[in-house]
Structure 1
Amino acid sequence: METGVYLSTDSGATWVFKGLSNENGVSCLAIDSSGYIYAGTGNDGIFRIPGRTTPVELISFSAVVNRYNVELSWITATELNNSGFEILRFTQNNDGIWERIGFVEGKGTTTESTAYNYEDKDLNSGSYNYRLKQIDYDGSYTYYNLQETIEISRQFNFKLEQNYPNPFNPTTTINYTIPEDGIVTLKVFDVLGNEVRHLISGEQKTGSHQVKFNAEGLSSGMYFCILNFKGINKENYNSTMKMTIMK
């Protein structure tokens, strides 16, 4: 084997001669993210040699928003030793952290075009960025960034809806909506102000919620359902609804 600089892209199974020899007195090597090899010599300075070729040729990378879901799609023209793609998400106001949310297996080595997709589901309101981390079998990787910022908007108002059915015996359904994450309490009182049921107490996510109320053991008559909500912004909301039990 000729003495010089060699490069392997398959964990050492095969090696490709990239140039230089002992006559140049190579003393150190480095490779950058673009695949160029830098060889430092004692006699002739520093050489830059085209090294590792890009293992995946990406044709496109796009996103489509469907309500609170983001469908990511990308197409490759060719692949070389492609283990797969990590899907990374950056959420604004999340301390600048790229979060790994999934992995899609690659096709290894192929000269055929391949389409991939991944769905990021049930997102909260906010701004999101995405990128792919394409990983080779030898552990080396390349990033591909989605050029656009994705905006998700969940606009909910605080609302306690009329229970259904009403009048009822003995069960009814109560629906309500909260505008942000926060603490919810839902209680039922009689006409004298006595608490007769404690239905909900705890943290809940933004959006619509539903609870079943079983009035077994309570007498016929009018009752009041009171919804209290305290959001992450410390705002307090209250709403009262009349219900009638008819036995």
Structure 2
Amino acid sequence: MKKKIFIIISSFNFLLFLSGSSLIKNTTSDDYGWFQVTPIDTTLESIHDLFFFNSDTGYVIGWTRYGGGLRRTIGKTLNGGLSWDTTMSKKDVQSDIICFINAQIGIAGAGVLFRTIDSGKTWNKVFVDPVDFDRAAFANDHIGWVVGGFGTIIKTTDAGATWFYQRSEAIDTLGRFLGLSVIDSLNLYVCSQLQLIFSADGGDTWKNVPIPEQYASRFGDTKFIDKDYGWLCGEYRTVIRTTDGGNTWQDASPPVYWDAIRSIDALDKNTAVVVTSAGAILRTENAGETWKEQLPANTYTNMLHRIQIIDDKVAYAVGNDGAILKTTTGGYTSVDDDKGKVTGYSLKQNFPNPFNSQTKITFTIPKSECVSVALYNIQGEVVQQIIDEERSAGEHSLEIYSDNLPSGVYFLRMIAGLFSKSIKVVLLK
């Protein structure tokens, strides 16, 4: 039996940590490299969205329950969160999203879409829809999209002054679009909890991007670097990655956990950052081969909604408890001696799959212990014992050769301590 074993040592040159409200844990910025900026309103229950032009200038939108309804507050900062102007928070501007085209023109909305042409001093109603809006993005100074519930997609071609629906048989009208990734004026991706769609003509027509059954999840966000290379993420910290516009997908998930990924941003094709519904943040610098959990769940806040990376040093994130978080060091702390530490168990889908002569799997363990990896046929018989030996904490990769195995469906099972997971592999000769 042939087998090659590779140990992968990951290098994390840029670390991101998210903090949150001190209602959960009173921790200083020295602990995580992130700090809470001046709150815009201490009564806010959630900051739902953000839009920053640069490290100093940006907007956030938050809400709190008030008189049987919700009171939204829009905050603007010109000094990186040291102070906020909330004078543009009119009672009739009900908003869960905020997005700007330039320093003067922007939109905000939550079913009713408002537009400003004077940097948020005044807002005018430009579109009404009974559903909630979830994401907005512009391709240039004129063209942009807003997506939301019941498969709603609306588009503007005049800098947000007017909007029109874009519909297609490919759109699941029962789904809620939560993710929007605009590449340019023609190419964009939109994801709902159960669907990813793509348009190459500015939204005039759409096609459904197939997702393999083994990666099925309730998706929450998507991020594409270009029309071919992108990420899709969702429940149980599911992350999948494509390099060919969704024709094929690779598992790029961190270790499974109970929370869902709420938002993703990326610096390049290798580096992506995700925040979760339990207030955790994870980062990869090798296209999802390994992930670093930079902040455990529920450390500061019980939910993070959005993250925006400005550059390799500055980033902002927002979430529950009115949290507005910032780093100016790329997440580095004065003492950062925990790089690359694995905090959980995982077994990733083999790649390639299906395979011919050889394929590779990657697994992680948080402590040194005996690990068994074996290949079973559909009758449940062991046809190849890959390893059954002590392994050190960290990430390990195994290259598996098919040898004399016939074509067919097999199951690869990993056991380490109380952890056990199986994946389906397909051999085609």
- What TM-score range do you get, normalising by the shorter chain? 0.3 to 0.5
Point out the structure with the larger strand share. Answer: 1
**Normalised TM-score (structure 1):** 0.37
* TM-score using structure 2 length: 0.22
